[in-house]
Structure 1
Amino acid sequence: MREFLNISKFAPLLLLSCATTQVDDWGTSSQTVPKPPEAAALRNEPNQHGPAKQGIFLWEASKGDAVVYFFGSVHIGDLGMRIPDVVLRALRRSRTVAFEIDPRDESQGERLLEKGTSQDESLEDVISPSDYAKVSKVAAQMGMPMTIVDRLKPWMAGLLFQSVAMMKLGYTPENGIENQILQYAEGRPIVALESIDLQVGVFSSMPLELQREMLAEALLDLGEVEKKTDELMSRWKSGDEAGMEKLVFKDLEDHPELTAPYYESMIFNRNVGMANKVESMMRSGGRHLVVVGTAHLIGSKGVPALLAKSGATVKRLHKGSLLEPELAH
């Protein structure tokens, strides 16, 4: 199993599918975490860092008098992350904004750690001595107290190490797409398509052996985080859907007998739930902007494809779309 079950390989899937997997409580003491850009500054600054001209992960679904714009996000970003102008145009047309979970909920990190912490046994009790020694070494390097790390479940420890590694590269949730979109919402109602407990349940329901393998490979391949994250960001900025599908679903194609349950719970089952929630929003009419991880929008089982199968008219937009002026309604 070690040939494919590693956090560096799962990093694209996590960054594009689960908004609660970024924990920012540790690992930032060695650098100053950049604050999110001010909304006013973003309005006046050219979008030089947005997706390349050849594409953008933006769709439009319409049914009756309802229109929904879907924007595929990356849950973290650096100082160069900017919202493309076409997405801001979609936002200005929309009366509500929907996210996977409500980004204003300040209890997310606490609840994630609560679910990822064991009250009955220590991390040392459930992983191998060699892996525990590696955990201790990495924790010391990242400035994490072992008194806390030792209470984490293996899956939580793996996610934490991955998150801190990416933060040290300059990627933070504060600079992510959701946080920037929220600055532009300007009083629009915010809709949560899922609960935090649902997202965390994907990890907490993993068998212990799978958790051990994920942590072991996270420790082994922390050096791959930068490479994988750069590859993901490159494909996201260029709007390369085929390349993104290949990156996100590689393990499913290579090892379907082993990874299918993980993908079903992490992506496909959640897509169905999101599509149902969006259909409910569409029944109320009007225009809405939905911002979710890009992994939920691509492929034949993505949310736009599911809505098309249910009778909605779906099309992919580009950077030059929505130029005609129109007010939200």
Structure 2
Amino acid sequence: MPRTWLTPVILPVLLALSACQTTPQETDLASTAEGAAERPPAVMPDDADPALWLIRDEDTTIYLFGTVHILKPGMTWFDEAVKDGFEASDELVIEMIKPDQAVMVKIVNDLAIDKSGISLRDKLAAEDRTHYEETLTRWTVPVAAFDALDPWFASVNLSMIPLMRSGYATDQGVEDALLSHAAARKMAVAGLETPEQQLGFFDNLPEDVQIRFLNFTVDTIDGAAEGMEQMVIEWANGNVDALGELMNAGLEDRVLYDTLLVNRNKSWADWVEQRMQQPGTIFLAVGAGHLAGESSLQALLAKKGLVAKRIEY
């Protein structure tokens, strides 16, 4: 198998995956449609102002920032309140700190390469396999390219193809920029999760869920770039509710929703609660999809008596 398919997208993939699963045609929930009808279409601003929140007590301050893990080059967002909050912070905390390539390849070999000896395509129902092979061919990907992978990792790789071809770059994400600024300041950096944990969320999904995930990615791949663009627009405009609608529409499978969003938010809410017991100023940056909707990190923090106040700028 070509090395390019063994090289993972070394970043949290929830937002990108939801982009592949969400297009205006597919978002058919009544509440979502009503909300979209009430809002004028958002457009990409010249200067992005993504949402930022503040959690504070007597001796602890946490800036809570929603990120997009991949962007197109040239987007301006690190200024005004975001820059001020970052520069006031002593430590940057992100979802995951990237390991070096050799370490990541080992993790992928351990978690994402199929151990059963059954080809990925042989795991698919006949109709799904035909559709899968036709889709790979249309996107000029060899039909055997993902045969050695678990279904979830094939879905991750496949989901990224239209985004990369539309100009998105895995080294242009918000976390990459924040890490660069942190390095320049010699700022402490920590991760909420390990690479093994992040990939494990997918790898531990039941195989039938992984296959449904892959089939859905195949079904919706043609709208992936458009869906991603719309999410970036909503993020850049700070439209949290609209972004939440897009994200939730892309995670209609309850197992996926709980595994990739709700359970992680619960864990992070516990982390924030514990961190508020220590003095200091933290810039906490997690995927924007975690900060929208009824199961958002802010909603879970509110249940703990911790109020995340949005900073208007």
Query: C-alpha displacement at 1:274, in angstroms?
Result: 1.0
CA distance in 1, matches of 2:237, 2:144: 43
Paired residue secondary structure (1:162): helix
Is 1:88 aligned to residue 83 of structure 2? yes
- Deviations along 1:103-131, one digit per CA (max 9) or x if unpaired, are 35544465246422102221132113444
Change (3 A) 1:109 1:293: farther
Paired residue secondary structure (1:172): coil
1:169 aligned partner: 166
Paired residue secondary structure (1:51): coil
CA distance in 1, matches of 2:104, 2:274: 25
Aligned length: 271
1:111 aligned partner: 107
CA distance in 1, matches of 2:238, 2:128: 38
Contact in 2 for aligned 1:65/1:285 (Cα 8 Å):
yes
The amino acid that maps onto 1:94 is: S
The partner residue of 2:153 within 156, 160, 174 is 156
Is 1:225 aligned to residue 224 of structure 2? yes
Contact in 2 for aligned 1:103/1:178 (Cα 8 Å):
no
The amino acid that maps onto 1:218 is: T
CA distance in 1, matches of 2:127, 2:16: 31
Pairs within 5 Å for 1:51-130:
51-52=48-49, 56-85=50-79, 86-103=81-98, 105-106=100-101, 107-108=103-104, 111-112=107-108, 114-120=110-116, 121-130=118-127
Question: What is the aligned-residue RMSD (CA, Å)?
Answer: 2.7
CA distance in 2, matches of 1:174, 1:264: 28
2:241 aligned partner: 242
Q: Which runs of 5+ in 1 are unaligned?
A: 1-12, 22-47, 320-329
Is 1:214 aligned to residue 213 of structure 2? yes
Contact in 2 for aligned 1:70/1:289 (Cα 8 Å):
yes
Change (3 A) 1:135 1:262: closer
- Deviations along 1:66-99, one digit per CA (max 9) or x if unpaired, are 0000110011000132333121111110000000
1:266 aligned partner: 260
TM-score of the two chains, using structure 1 as the length reference: 0.74
Query: C-alpha displacement at 1:205, in angstroms?
Result: 2.4
CA distance in 2, matches of 1:251, 1:137: 23
1:317 aligned partner: 311
- Deviations along 1:26-61, one digit per CA (max 9) or x if unpaired, are xxxxxxxxxxxxxxxxxxxxxx74425xxx321000
The amino acid that maps onto 1:14 is: L
Change (3 A) 1:15 1:155: same
TM-score of the two chains, using structure 2 as the length reference: 0.77
1:205 aligned partner: 204
Contact in 2 for aligned 1:16/1:293 (Cα 8 Å):
no
Query: C-alpha displacement at 1:207, in angstroms?
Result: 2.5
Pairs within 5 Å for 1:22-41:
none
CA distance in 1, matches of 2:70, 2:109: 19
Contact in 2 for aligned 1:16/1:73 (Cα 8 Å):
no
CA distance in 1, matches of 2:16, 2:157: 16
The partner residue of 2:292 within 298, 303, 321 is 298
1:42 aligned partner: none
1:38 aligned partner: none
Q: Which runs of 5+ in 2 are unaligned?
A: 1-12, 21-44
CA distance in 1, matches of 2:190, 2:46: 28
Query: C-alpha displacement at 1:296, in angstroms?
Result: 1.4
Higher mean C-alpha displacement, 297-306 vs 268-277: 297-306
Higher mean C-alpha displacement, 68-77 vs 136-145: 136-145
Higher mean C-alpha displacement, 214-223 vs 71-80: 214-223
Query: C-alpha displacement at 1:143, in angstroms?
Result: 6.0
CA distance in 2, matches of 1:16, 1:286: 32
The amino acid that maps onto 2:168 is: Y
Query: C-alpha displacement at 1:138, in angstroms?
Result: 4.6
Change (3 A) 1:302 1:195: same
Change (3 A) 1:279 1:65: same
Paired residue secondary structure (1:271): helix
Contact in 1 for aligned 2:245/2:293 (Cα 8 Å):
no
